[in-house]
Amino acid sequence: MEGIIVGGGIIGLSIARELLKAGHKITILEKDTIGKGASWTAGGMLAPQSEGLKPDLFFDFCIQSRDMYPQFVEELEKETGTEVSYWDCGILCPAYSYEEAGELQKNMEMYKEVGLPGEWWDRSKLEKKYPHIGKSIVGGVFYPEDGQVDNRLLMESLTKSVKQLGAKVLENTTALKILGEDSFEGVETNRGILQGDYCIVSAGAWSSYLLDAKVYPMKGQMMAVDIDPSDIDTVFFGSKAYLIPRKDYSRMVIGATEELVGFTEGNTPEGLLQLSSGLKETMPPLAHRKVQEIWYGYRPATPDLLPVLGKTDREGVFIASGHHRNGILLAPITAKVMADLILKGVESPYLQHFSVNRFKGM
């Protein structure tokens, strides 16, 4: 079977890898450079609990994917020889007020009820470990099972993997239209028409240019600063900002704004101010570190902020998009459910729940 995947981000590449391993011939269309879109601009947190998600089917989906990560990265690293800096460092959610502490503790209790660990650290415990925390922090919840991966290294590794497995990668190739009324007949691109047996649209925030999927961009601005190994040894994920120290201490990633501004380009003083003040309130001395880089990206959001996965109305046309804040986290499980659907016809309950049909008539 020959498949065409539109979008060379983490979702497209992870699905491609599964299909290639099963012997399918895969062509990946990428409008710019493979692996350098939203997945490259992300933070790389694997944070279902720290995100405060309520225990439901989406949460289960996230937890399953988080649990798949160690094996996912181990296999990838073996395949490609590229280390991806997966770090099961845990994530600490600081509370900047007693009111927020109450909300965070409620979440922690909610997770305990479904058997997932979390620990409340009061200010004195936190200060002992992290003497430089900001004055307003009253304590925090530590989730030992959340973690992070260096998403840029991961994208390098995934790109290498799909190429090694024989994917045909067409960069600077924009998919303009999915052809066929009732079933897949090809993809019209800026370089001509491509044909195959099926097509998967995993074009992130751009997916709705091709299918009526209600996916829209939610811009996020980011920054990275110098870091010292003695600063922090875990992710701080606060309501003001998140601070992600990379495992090799090469940088600390600070994120992120959430802006409904379409595909507006560039960083803004307001966005950078939000990141800088969030950093300063969380760990004041780090606000004096050298800025290494500023950048931005577009999360693929949907009306209910859940992914859109699975079949569409047209036979042979599939979608895997809308992962919003959790694309890096959800890559392993998305690849599995999409590959199971395409290779074996397995319709998991997740696919029914995340079907694009839920937006019909909107």
Angstrom distance (rounded) from CA 343 to CA 205: 26
Question: Is 95 a residue that touches ligand GLY (CB under 6 A)?
Answer: no
Angstrom distance (rounded) from CA 48 to CA 267: 27
CB of 45 to ligand GLY, least distance (A): 5
Question: Is 140 a residue that touches ligand GLY (CB under 6 A)?
Answer: no
CA angle 75, 198, 77 (to 5 degrees): 10
Question: Is 66 a residue that touches ligand GLY (CB under 6 A)?
Answer: no
Angstrom distance (rounded) from CA 272 to CA 299: 18
Contacting residue, 220, 278, 310, 332, with ligand GLY by CB under 6 A: 220
Question: Is 153 a residue that touches ligand GLY (CB under 6 A)?
Answer: no
Contacting residue, 298, 325, 332, 337, with ligand GLY by CB under 6 A: 325
Residue 65 or 80 having the CB closest to ligand GLY: 65
Question: Is 149 a residue that touches ligand GLY (CB under 6 A)?
Answer: no
CA atoms within 13 A on the CB side of 264: 12
Binding mask 273-302 for ligand GLY (x = CB under 6 A): --------------------------x---
CB of 43 to ligand GLY, least distance (A): 5
Question: Is 217 a residue that touches ligand GLY (CB under 6 A)?
Answer: no
For the chain, how big is the Rg over CA atoms in Å?
A: 20
Question: Is 256 a residue that touches ligand GLY (CB under 6 A)?
Answer: yes
Residue 35 or 43 having the CB closest to ligand GLY: 43
Report residue 257 as tokens.
Answer: 């704004």
Angstrom distance (rounded) from CA 27 to CA 305: 29
Q: Which residues 28-47 are close enough to bind ligand GLY by CB under 6 A?
A: 43, 45
Angstrom distance (rounded) from CA 225 to CA 6: 34
Angstrom distance (rounded) from CA 184 to CA 162: 23
Of the candidates 170, 177, 173, the one whose C-alpha atom is nearest the C-alpha of residue 209 is 177
Report residue 89 as tokens.
Answer: 């460092």
Question: Is 154 a residue that touches ligand GLY (CB under 6 A)?
Answer: no
The runs of H, that is alpha helices, within the chain are 10-21, 38-41, 57-80, 98-113, 123-129, 151-164, 269-282, 327-344, 349-353
Residue 92 or 170 having the CB closest to ligand GLY: 92
Contacting residue, 48, 196, 255, 310, with ligand GLY by CB under 6 A: 255
CB of 299 to ligand GLY, least distance (A): 5
Residues lying near ligand GLY in the complex (CB under 6 A) are found at 43, 45, 220, 255-256, 299, 325
